Structure 1
Amino acid sequence: MTKTITISNNIDYKEIKESAYDFLDKYSNGRLPINLLDIINKIDNLHLIKYTRFARDRKLKLKEVCELLQSEDGALWYQTATDTYILLYNDTITNKERIRFTVAHELGHYVLKHNEKTEKTILSRYNLTEDEYNTFEKEANFFAKHLLVPFPVLGNYSLFFHQMDARFIRIVFQVSYSVANYVIGNLKSMSSFGLVKDGHDVENRFAKYIDTSQSTRICQTCYSKINRNSNYCHICSTEQRKGSSTLDAYLDNREREEERMRYYKYPLDEDGFPNSCPRCGNEELNGCVFCNVCGVYVRNICLGDCGDNYDVWGHSVPIQEQLANGCGKSLAGNSRYCPDCGGKSSYFFQGLLKNWDIEKKESEGLPF
């Protein structure tokens, strides 16, 4: 006997929104844009398959796959015998944002258990009543929007920049213009009631990523990631202007992220000490500031404007003569310079770190 269900026209949008946030809180890696593939890989009874692979495995044409699944975009196929799901999407579609929304939409059907509620292996206009189909599609669309653009996370950016626009949402969350504009409409509606963001624990899941993205930027000289309020780049010593907290400045900086250079970094503890000597690898430092094997100064601190490493006779200048010259700030394991005063670091002074441009060229495989 075919199971029939009663559909109410009153969709509980608040509950669906909470379901999307709970789902993200459980499966997201806490970074933006939302990594849908990473999420799906964490769910045991859900598998992602491309239309082209599905067609190849079953010796079908793409058109036949669309007809079988009754969709040109995607479908959620429920395998009742094994209680597993196959999420299929049309990978021949060139619009990346459209594919992302399709996958998020089908995840909505999965989380909201639409297949199980109707006992349908595939949801379509042809095996559901009009009310059932329309209701499920609205619910899945609403779920997808809040999965891709979680308002508790978006609200943090709105508060930080004191504004929000569709371009920012489209680029940072990787959604289409239509979704971004729809979200802006929601934000305006919320602001009319004095609200800026939704409250949910999922915000904590993204807290580290949000803090880092708001407090850092990319140096335009060496393309390392630096603190937004640094006076100097700690890699190349380029003097920095104060970071601008605007949407456009953030997006411009985000574009440079693709060219970001990750310079070699010695691991240091919270007090600035390495677990082993950065020169000889001696692991028995016992809290000493000078390695008892090779004599190198093991902490990376600011030595100030100490000039060259050699005196007028060409002799190496002992680091002991430089320790009191700088501001003494404890620096990161890849810092050549102090971000506050621009002074040279003890690691760079001792030759433990290469010139930034040499390391960058080596990483790019470029000739000197």
Structure 2
Amino acid sequence: MKIPQYARYEYCYTKSCEFLEEFEIKAFPINVLEIVHQQKWGLVSYSEIMHKFHCDRKTVIRILGSSDGYTIWDGTNYSIAYNDDQKLGDRTRFTIMHEIGHIYLGHLLDFEATKLYRGSLTKRENRVLENEANAFARNVLSPVSMYLTLKNKSAINVARTFGITTTAAEARIDFINRDVELVRHLKLSEKIMLVYHRFMKKRKCIMCDAQFFQKYKYCPICGNKNSLQWGDGKMIYPKLETYEDGKLKECPICQNEETNIDGDHCIICGIPLVNICSNEECSHQVLPSNARYCPICGGETTFYRRGILKAWDYDEDNLPPESGFMNIPDTAMYIPDIDEELPFN
């Protein structure tokens, strides 16, 4: 396949939406290092290369043929190198996402000219691929839906909000009208708005540090009332694997795997296979398999009451000898009301 004559901006924008959806981006600035780690790609800074091979930065730039970053495919995995020179400013996030763009857009696999060495490209070919990677990085790091909701759209605030340089922020501002038109033309408005909704619906519990994407009244993990506020939680409490209707795929007590049948109880040991609120007056239906409490009324769930789930702060290594579970107070700790006004400036 030959490198196209012009940058495929429609393709780049579609792929950026797919990327935001695939990685469920919901926090800004985006943690690009975490994405690289998840994909198990190699990542090295120019400084590390300089130290390993006892050379200066100019030599690294000359050998790699790039003053910003470079990506190679060795037939098995990708490896990204990026220029971490502090004189360049805070360019690391954009540089790495730019290189991810080369990967995600198929630049290193789709074109014969790039399979061996990107440095062999003509200036025109290189410019096309660089423009595509820039468009991808811009629309991932600062999606249209997120930019448009900013109250302060100055380059300085855009740079601070999305963790990019003021130069990259100015490019985002300059290209916003064209990117908006592309969203409409490609009929991606609904998908790109999902990024905004994921961001706005974030909730964290300040007691157990759980993270959610619904506005609950009670924390479904620790049961505290008024402990949920906007933001990113750090703790992810594992869920038991379920079918789409919320029924467990395997009984947690007897390990019976024949659960995709009529009824909500295990046919071997009789344990409930669907997690619901134990309060009969509560209208809430099926709950997540890791919920200890109902997020609507605060009542205990069937999984928690039957011992399938332990208390959120259960510590197996520090239990008193006479107890199988930690003693949890009958009443939830009081926490004053929290102002939930979102801090998106």
Normalised to the residue count of structure 1, the TM-score between the two structures is: 0.58
The secondary structure found in structure 2 opposite 1:300 is coil
| 2:257 paired residue number | 283
In structure 2, C-alpha distance between the alignment counterparts of 1:158 and 1:123, rounded to whole Å: 37
| 8 A contact 1:105–1:140 mirrored in 2 | no
> Relative CO higher for 1 or 2, CA cutoff 8 Å, sep ≥ 6?
2
| 2:244 paired residue number | 270
| 1:18 paired residue number | 10
* Identity, % of aligned positions: 22
| 8 A contact 2:107–2:129 mirrored in 1 | no
Report 1:119-198 matches (<5 A). Answer: 122=119, 142-150=131-139, 154-157=143-146, 161=149, 163=151, 165=153, 169-170=158-159, 173-187=162-176
Q: CA deviation at 1:145?
A: 4.1
Answer yes or no: is 1:330 the counterpart of 2:286.
Answer: yes
The secondary structure found in structure 2 opposite 1:356 is coil
Q: CA deviation at 1:345?
A: 1.0
| 8 A contact 1:76–1:123 mirrored in 2 | no
| 8 A contact 1:267–1:274 mirrored in 2 | yes
**Do the aligned partners of residues 96 and 288 (structure 1) sit closer, same or farther apart at CA in structure 2, a change above 3 Å counting?**
farther
| 1:346 paired residue number | 302
Answer yes or no: is 1:90 the counterpart of 2:83.
Answer: yes
**Do the aligned partners of residues 98 and 289 (structure 1) sit closer, same or farther apart at CA in structure 2, a change above 3 Å counting?**
same
| 8 A contact 1:76–1:87 mirrored in 2 | yes
| 1:298 paired residue number | 273
In structure 2, C-alpha distance between the alignment counterparts of 1:49 and 1:211, rounded to whole Å: 34
| 1:223 paired residue number | 209
In structure 1, C-alpha distance between the alignment counterparts of 2:33 and 2:270, rounded to whole Å: 50
Q: CA deviation at 1:274?
A: 1.3
The secondary structure found in structure 2 opposite 1:20 is helix
Q: CA deviation at 1:105?
A: 5.5
Q: CA deviation at 1:334?
A: 0.9
Aligned equivalent of 1:99, options 85, 92, 111: 92
In structure 2, C-alpha distance between the alignment counterparts of 1:54 and 1:279, rounded to whole Å: 53
The secondary structure found in structure 2 opposite 1:146 is helix
Larger-gyration structure (1/2):
1
| 8 A contact 1:90–1:99 mirrored in 2 | yes
Structure 2: unaligned runs, 5 residues or longer:
319-325, 328-345
In structure 2, C-alpha distance between the alignment counterparts of 1:77 and 1:328, rounded to whole Å: 51
In structure 1, C-alpha distance between the alignment counterparts of 2:269 and 2:47, rounded to whole Å: 60
Aligned-partner residue type, residue 266 of structure 2:
C
Aligned length: 300
**Do the aligned partners of residues 49 and 237 (structure 1) sit closer, same or farther apart at CA in structure 2, a change above 3 Å counting?**
closer
Structure 1: unaligned runs, 5 residues or longer:
1-10, 244-248, 305-323
The secondary structure found in structure 1 opposite 2:143 is helix
**Do the aligned partners of residues 200 and 53 (structure 1) sit closer, same or farther apart at CA in structure 2, a change above 3 Å counting?**
farther
**Do the aligned partners of residues 71 and 344 (structure 1) sit closer, same or farther apart at CA in structure 2, a change above 3 Å counting?**
closer
